[in-house]
Amino acid sequence: MRTNSPTAAFILGLLIALGLIGAAFVSGKALLSFKDADRYVTVKGLAEREVDANLVIWPLSFAEAGNELAGLYEIMQKRQAAVTTFLTSRGIQPTNITANPPDITDFQARKYNPANQQRQYRYLARATLTVRSENVELVRQLMGKSSELIKQGIVLTGDQYQMRPEFLYTTLNSIKPDMIREATEGARKAAEQFARDSGSAVGKIRNARQGIFSIVDRDRNSPYRKIIRVVTTVDYMLTDI
């Protein structure tokens, strides 16, 4: 049945209007709730420690030239024994010393050997003893005394980068929990400061990301001192006061 009465049309229009108002109210509440749930601040926290290296790797390389392999090998054996005695007599344990066999270069056997290039010696022998020790301070002292080997005719050689000592810190796991906690506390303090400035309060953690731990030398002159850093990134929810 169809009706064109003004009263029916008014009622129908009123119902439609009320429906639109109700829908807008529900949508507005949902949007407001979403915005409230989406209020957060992203902050970073830094933790830093300065520590001593607990492991040192010290390669001692020496070389000798000659024309006879047998005699050259004998000389290298004596050089190796002298370096070993220098180390063990000053406190380095024999188990902390590794000896590599000599590396022999035969210049006459090289493919590229210009005829006009004259060499006094045919063979060049290089050998390396490597000290690996947790007694970092003792090894550092011996580094300063290694020039004493010159008196025995032994000159330590080697590339500045390949043969330089390495100082390592190997117990990172023992300080990781404290550093992560310190970094997280620093991040929360930053969030609290932001919240005070914006008239809000810090709520729960929305998301957290731990950075990579970095270990670097304090400076080029003291590689046995290490700086350890970690940065955490944390999202904190913000609530009204």
| Domains recognised in the chain with CATH numbers | 36-51+172-240 (3.30.110.170), 55-168 (3.30.70.2970)
pLDDT beneath 50: ranges in the chain: 1, 23-36, 116
State the pLDDT at residue 37. Answer: 55
Look at residue 11 in the predicted model and tell me its pLDDT: 63
Please tell me the predicted confidence (pLDDT) of residue 5. Answer: 61
146, 102 Cβ separation under 8 angstroms: no
Within the chain, where are the H helices?
Answer: 6-37, 69-88, 136-145, 176-198
Asked whether 198 and 221 are in contact (CB, 8 A), the reply is no
Return the pLDDT at 25: 44
